C-alpha cells in the first residue's frame, strides 16, 4: 500500500497546525462562525445532533494494522470506545470534544492519517473497489488511480469552494463494487481495441433527494489524460454549477439541466485548452505509486486443512461460502469481516474488535485491511491455510457473522440516533429486520439480498440502489417508512421504484416478512435471487404481498 | 476605502471606482488600455479578443463561499491573459494562497475586513511558506 514520504508527513503535520490556528482564530473572533464552518468541514469536523463528529479519511478504504490500532486508541481515549465505518470507506467518531480535535488529528498524523476533505464543498476522499489488488476480475488496481487523484485533489487551490460536495469513485474491474455510477465522477478502467488501458468516464451520478445514474461523458480516456480531463470537468462545474439552491447544486443537476451532449462539448473544449499547457505527471511519482501498490509476496501454503475444515464443519462452511471471496491467487482468499452482527449497529466496531482485526491482519494477511462501502472490513490477501485460525479468532470476538451479501448485511445511515438531518431512525430498523429474520431462520434460505436504509431523503444509506430500499420520513411527527424495490448498485446500476404508501415502524417488519415469504413462493428455483425474481415478474406480485388489503379491494372490484 | 493585499502585505488602493469599465463598455471598443470589472457570472472566454486592451481585470467575490472566481482566473490565464488579475470583495486570509495559485496577483478587501483579519494573517499565507501537492505532482521545467 501507499507509503507516506517526507512530503506527505510534512503536509499533514502542517495541516494540523493550520487547523489549530484556525480554531484559535475562531475563538478570538478573527474568524466568524460562518467563515470557520467550511474550514472545520474541510478538516472532517461536523456538528451533529448531540455533539461534534469527526470523519477520518481512509483513502480508498485501505489501511494497515498499525493504523487500525491507532483508531482503536483514539476511540478509547477521546470517544466512547467505538467507531463507525461509513459507506464512503471512512471512519466516524461520534463523540469528540472540539478542544481535543487538534490532538486527535496529531494522533492520526502519527500513523500517516488525517481527516482532510472528508466533508465540505470540495473534492472528497476518493473511494475505490474494496477488493482492489486482490480481485480475480480486475484489469488494474484501482487504488493507483485513486492515490493519484488523492494527491492532485488535496488542497487543490481552484476547487476548495465548489457549489457542493464532489465525490469520485474508481473501479479497476468490470464488476463494479465501488458504485461508480452513483458518484459525481465514476471512473471504470477499461482497455481499448489496441489493448491500452484507460477509463470510461461517467458524470452526474448521485443519490440524495434527486437520484440519478451517472452518464458516460467519455467512452475512452487515455490514462495520461486523467488529470487534465478531471480538471476540465471540475472547472466547468465550478463555473456553471448552480449556487442558488443547495439541493440543486450537485453536478447531476447541471448534467440534467444542460444535457449531457452540451456539457460534454464544454468539457472537451476546456480539456483541449488545459491539455495544451499540462506538463504531465512527474514519472518518478507515478513509479513510486506503482511500486507501492505492487502485490505482496504470496506464500503458496497448502490448502489441505482449509479444505478439510470446510468438509467437516458446517458452520465454517457457511461462513466461507458467504464471507470468503475468490482471490486472484488460487491459494488465497479475500476474507470479509462482517460488522453486521444480528442486533448490532451496522458498521460499528469497538476498540477491542479493531485490535482483533489488526492483529489478524498483521499475523496472517500481509498487514493490510480494507473498509468496504458496505460497511464491513476486508482482509484482502489471506492464505487459505490461515483462514481456519482467522475464523476461530473472529468467532471469539463476535466478528464471524456469516451474512455477507445476505439480508442482514444491511447498509444503514446513522439516522435519528446521531444525525441532525434525519427524519426517522434507521439503525433500530436494521436491527429489527435482522432479529426478525434470524428468529424465522430464513436468511440463508432467502439468499443474496441487498437491503439499504436511509433515515431521510438525503439517502446516505443508498436506499435508491438497494434491492429493497427503505426510506424513513416524518409524517406529522410519526416515523413512516417507504419501500422501493429493484434498485441496483453495480455496473448495471438502477434506481429502485417506490411501491406505494409508507409503513409505520410497527407495520414495516411484518410487511417485509410478507414480501420475502412471497418471494420464496414465487421464485423459479432457489438459484433465482430476489432481485432476478423481481425483474422477471415485475412489481405487481410484490406489491400485493406488501399491501394485501389492496389485493382484496382489487378482487372485490374486478370479481377475480 | 480599500486595502490591496499583495505578497509583501497591505498597500493602499490608488484606483478609484471610475477607473474601471464594464464588459459591455469594452465590447463597444476602447482607445487606451483599460481596467475591467468582471462579475463572477460573466463568461471569461468572451474577453479573449480584447486581452491587448486590458491591463487589469477585477473579478468580484460576492461571498467567500462562492469559488467561481478561482476558476475564472485560471481560465483567463490559460487563455493567455498576462495583465494584472485582482480579486475583489469577500475573501478571507485563508483563501489568499488559493487565489494566488489560481492566477490572481492581488486581492482588494475593505477596511473592515482588513481590521478583523490583519496584515500578518495574509502574509502567513505567502506561497513560499506552504506545501503544494499540485506543484509536486507535475513535471517541472
Q: Is the pLDDT of residue A5 over 80?
A: yes
Residue A162 lies in a domain: yes
Q: How far apart are CA A370 and CA A539, in angstroms?
A: 36
- Whether residues A328 and A460 fall in one domain: no
pTM of this prediction?
0.94
A482 and A364, same domain (yes or no): no
Instruction: Give the mean model confidence (pLDDT) for residues A155-166.
Output: 97
User: Per-residue pLDDT tens for A344-377?
Assistant: 999 999 999 999 999 999 999 999 999 999 999 9
Which of these ranges, A45-59, A225-239, A432-446, has the smallest mean pLDDT?
A45-59
Instruction: Specify if A210 maps to a domain.
Output: yes
Give the per-residue pLDDT at B13. Answer: 92
Q: pLDDT digits over A415-451, tens only?
A: 998 888 999 999 999 999 999 999 999 999 999 999 9
Is A160's CB within 8 Å of B68's CB?
no
Query: Are residue A213 and residue A245 in the same domain, yes or no?
Result: yes
Q: Is the same domain home to A376 and A496?
A: no
A202 shares its domain with A224: yes
Q: In this predicted model, what pLDDT tens digit does every residue of A372-404 receive, in sequence order? A: 999 999 999 999 999 999 999 999 999 999 999
**Is A243 in the same domain as A175?**
yes
| Residues A223, A101 share a domain | no
| Grid cell digits, residue A329 | 491467487
Question: Cα–Cα–Cα angle for A199, A203, A204, nearest 5°?
Answer: 160
- Does residue A240 register a pLDDT over 70? yes
Beta strand segments in A159-241, E: 168-171, 185-191, 197-203, 215-222
Query: How many domains does chain A contain in total?
Result: 4
A476 and A355 within one domain: no
Q: Is A369 left (phi over 0), alpha (psi -120 to 50) or beta?
A: beta
A425 and A469 in a common domain: yes
Residue B102: CB partners within 8 Å, gap ≥ 6? Answer: A157, A158, B69, B70, B71, B73, B74
Domain presence at residue A404 = no
Interface with chain B: mutation pick from A40, A126, A158, highest number of B CBs within 10 Å: A158
Instruction: Tell me if A403 is assigned to some domain.
Output: no
Percentage of chain A beyond pLDDT 70 is 98
Q: Residue A208's domain is classified under what CATH number?
A: 3.30.413.10
Does any domain span residue A129? no
Other Cβ atoms closer than 10 A to A558: 7
What is the predicted pLDDT for the residue at A555? 52
> Do residues B40 and B60 lie in contact, with contact meaning Cβ atoms separated by under 8 Å?
yes
pLDDT in tens, A476-495: 999 999 999 999 999 999 99
pLDDT at B128: 65
Domain span holding position A206: 134-291
User: Which chain B positions have a beta carbon within 8 Å of A121's beta carbon?
Assistant: 65, 67
Q: Could you give the CA distance from residue A543 to residue A540 in angstroms, rounded to a whole number?
A: 5
- Rounded CA separation A157/A464 (Å): 34
Is A117 part of any domain? no
Q: What is the pLDDT of residue A49?
A: 73
Q: What is the mean pLDDT of chain A?
A: 95
pLDDT at residue A551, rounded to an integer: 62
Do the Cβ atoms of B136 and A282 come within 8 Å? yes
Average pLDDT of A308-337?
97
Instruction: Give the closest-approach CA distance of B140 to chain A in angstroms.
Output: 7
* Among candidates A121, A157, A279 on the partner chain, residue whose Cβ is nearest the Cβ of B97: A157
CATH number at residue A45: 3.30.70
Please identify, among A57, A75, A110, the residue that sits at the C-terminal boundary of a domain. A110
pLDDT in tens, B105-119: 999 999 999 999 999
pLDDT digits (tens, 9 = 90+) for B82-108: 999 999 999 999 999 999 999 999 999
Q: B141 falls in which pLDDT band (50, 70, 90)?
A: very low
pLDDT recorded at residue A549: 83
Q: Which residue in A53, A145, A152 sits closest to A104, CA to CA? A: A53
The residue out of A66, A94, A110 marking a domain boundary is A110
Looking at residue A558, what is its pLDDT?
A: 53
Residue B65 sits at the chain A interface (C-beta within 8 Å): yes
Domains and CATH numbers, chain B: 2-137 (3.20.20.70)
The CA distance from A229 to A479, in Å, is: 44
| Averaged pLDDT score across all residues of chain B | 92
Per-residue model confidence as pLDDT tens digits over A484-542 = 999 999 999 999 999 999 999 999 999 999 999 999 999 999 999 999 999 999 999 99
- Domain with residue A336: its CATH number is 3.90.480.20
Does residue A247 share a domain with residue A162? yes
User: Do A35 and B72 count as a contact with CB atoms less than 8 A apart?
Assistant: no
Residue A84 pairs with which residues in a beta bridge?
A92, A348
User: Which tens digit of pLDDT belongs to each residue from A21-49?
Assistant: 998 898 888 899 899 999 999 999 988 77
Q: Which among A396, A423, A440 is the end of a domain?
A: A396
The CA distance from B120 to the nearest CA of chain A, in Å, is: 12
Low-confidence winner among A29-43, A116-130, A223-237, B61-75 (lowest mean pLDDT): A29-43
Q: A227 and A166: one domain?
A: yes
Q: Is the pLDDT of residue A52 over 90?
A: no
Phi, psi torsion values for A363, nearest 5 degrees? -75, -40
Interface test with B, best of A35, A59, A237, A285 (most B CBs within 10 A): A35
Q: Is position A38 within any domain?
A: yes
Shared domain for A384 and A419, answered yes or no, is no
- Answer whether residue A118 is part of any domain: no
Mean pLDDT of A134-147: 96
pLDDT at B131: 84
Out of A31, A243, A285, the one facing B137 most closely (by C-beta) is A285
Amino acid at each position: 500500500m501507499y507509503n507516506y514520504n517526507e512530503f506527505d508527513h510534512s503536509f499533514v503535520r502542517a495541516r494540523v497546525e493550520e487547523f489549530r490556528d484556525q480554531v484559535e482564530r475562531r475563538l478570538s473572533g478573527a474568524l466568524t462562525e460562518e467563515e470557520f464552518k467550511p474550514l472545520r468541514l474541510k478538516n472532517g469536523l461536523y456538528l451533529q445532533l448531540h455533539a461534534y463528529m469527526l470523519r477520518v479519511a481512509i483513502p480508498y478504504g485501505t489501511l494497515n494494522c498499525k493504523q487500525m490500532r491507532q483508531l482503536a486508541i483514539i476511540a478509547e481515549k477521546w470517544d466512547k470506545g467505538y467507531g463507525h465505518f461509513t459507506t464512503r470507506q471512512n471512519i466516524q467518531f461520534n463523540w469528540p470534544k472540539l478542544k481535543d480535535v487538534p490532538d486527535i488529528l496529531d494522533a492520526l498524523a502519527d500513523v500517516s492519517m488525517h481527516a482532510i476533505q472528508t466533508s465540505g464543498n470540495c473534492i472528497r476522499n476518493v473511494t475505490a473497489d474494496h477488493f482492489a489488488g486482490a480481485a480475480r476480475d480486475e484489469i488494474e488496481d484501482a487504488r493507483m488511480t485513486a492515490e493519484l487523484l488523492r494527491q492532485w485533489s488535496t488542497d487543490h487551490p481552484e476547487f476548495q469552494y465548489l457549489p457542493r460536495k464532489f465525490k469520485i469513485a474508481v473501479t479497476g474491474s468490470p464488476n463494479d463494487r465501488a458504485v461508480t455510477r452513483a458518484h459525481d465522477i465514476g471512473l471504470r478502467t477499461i482497455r481499448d481495441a489496441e489493448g491500452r488501458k484507460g477509463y470510461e468516464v461517467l458524470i452526474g451520478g448521485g443519490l440524495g433527494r434527486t437520484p440519478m445514474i451517472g452518464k458516460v461523458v467519455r467512452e475512452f480516456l487515455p490514462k495520461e489524460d486523467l488529470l487534465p480531463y478531471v480538471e476540465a470537468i471540475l472547472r466547468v462545474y465550478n463555473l456553471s454549477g448552480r449556487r442558488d439552491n443547495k439541493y440543486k447544486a450537485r453536478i447531476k443537476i447541471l448534467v440534467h439541466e444542460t444535457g449531457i451532449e452540451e456539457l460534454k462539448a464544454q468539457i472537451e473544449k476546456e480539456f483541449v485548452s488545459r491539455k495544451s499547457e499540462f506538463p504531465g505527471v512527474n514519472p518518478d511519482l507515478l513509479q513510486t505509486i506503482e511500486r507501492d501498490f505492487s502485490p505482496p509476496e504470496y506464500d503458496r501454503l497448502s490448502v489441505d486443512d482449509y479444505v478439510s475444515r470446510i468438509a467437516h464443519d458446517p458452520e465454517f462452511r457457511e461462513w466461507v461460502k458467504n464471507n470468503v471471496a475468490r482471490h486472484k491467487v488460487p491459494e488465497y482468499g479475500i476474507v470479509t469481516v462482517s460488522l453486521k452482527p444480528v442486533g448490532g449497529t451496522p458498521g460499528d466496531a469497538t476498540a477491542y474488535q479493531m485490535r482483533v482485526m489488526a492483529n489478524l491482519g498483521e499475523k496472517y494477511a500481509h498487514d493490510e485491511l480494507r473498509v468496504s462501502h458496505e460497511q464491513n472490513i476486508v482482509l484482502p490477501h489471506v492464505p487459505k491455510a490461515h483462514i481456519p485460525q482467522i475464523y476461530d479468532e473472529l468467532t471469539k470476538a463476535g466478528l464471524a457473522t456469516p451474512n455477507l451479501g445476505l439480508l442482514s448485511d444491511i447498509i444503514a445511515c446513522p439516522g435519528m440516533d446521531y444525525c441532525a438531518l434525519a427524519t426517522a431512525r434507521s439503525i433500530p430498523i436494521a436491527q429489527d429486520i435482522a432479529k426478525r429474520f434470524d428468529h424465522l431462520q430464513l436468511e440463508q434460505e432467502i439468499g443474496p439480498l441487498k437491503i439499504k436504509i436511509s433515515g431521510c431523503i438525503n439517502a446516505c444509506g443508498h436506499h435508491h440502489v438497494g434491492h429493497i430500499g427503505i426510506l424513513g420520513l416524518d409524517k406529522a411527527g410519526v416515523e413512516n417508512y417507504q419501500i422501493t424495490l429493484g434498485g441496483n448498485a453495480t455496473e448495471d446500476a438502477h434506481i429502485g421504484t417506490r411501491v406505494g404508501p409508507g409503513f409505520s415502524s410497527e407495520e414495516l417488519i411484518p410487511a417485509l416478512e410478507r414480501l420475502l415469504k412471497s418471494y420464496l413462493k414465487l421464485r423459479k428455483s432457489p438459484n433465482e435471487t430476489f432481485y432476478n425474481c423481481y425483474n422477471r415478474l415485475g412489481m405487481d406480485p410484490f406489491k400485493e404481498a406488501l399491501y394485501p388489503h389492496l389485493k382484496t379491494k382489487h378482487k372485490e372490484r374486478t370479481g377475480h | 476605502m480599500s486595502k490591496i493585499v499583495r505578497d509583501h502585505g497591505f498597500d493602499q488602493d490608488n484606483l478609484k471606482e471610475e477607473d474601471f469599465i464594464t464588459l459591455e463598455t469594452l465590447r463597444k471598443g476602447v482607445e487606451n488600455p483599460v481596467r475591467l470589472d468582471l462579475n463572477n457570472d460573466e463568461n471569461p472566454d468572451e474577453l479573449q479578443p480584447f486581452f491587448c486592451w486590458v491591463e487589469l481585470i477585477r473579478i468580484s467575490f460576492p461571498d467567500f463561499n462562492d469559488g467561481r472566481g478561482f476558476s475564472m482566473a485560471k481560465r483567463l490565464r490559460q487563455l493567455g491573459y498576462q495583465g494584472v488579475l485582482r480579486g475583489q470583495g469577500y475573501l478571507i486570509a485563508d483563501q489568499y494562497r488559493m487565489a494566488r495559485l489560481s492566477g490572481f496577483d492581488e486581492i482588494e478587501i475593505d477596511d473592515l475586513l482588513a481590521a478583523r483579519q490583519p496584515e500578518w494573517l495574509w502574509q502567513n499565507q505567502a506561497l513560499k511558506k506552504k506545501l503544494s501537492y499540485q506543484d509536486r505532482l507535475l513535471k517541472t521545467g
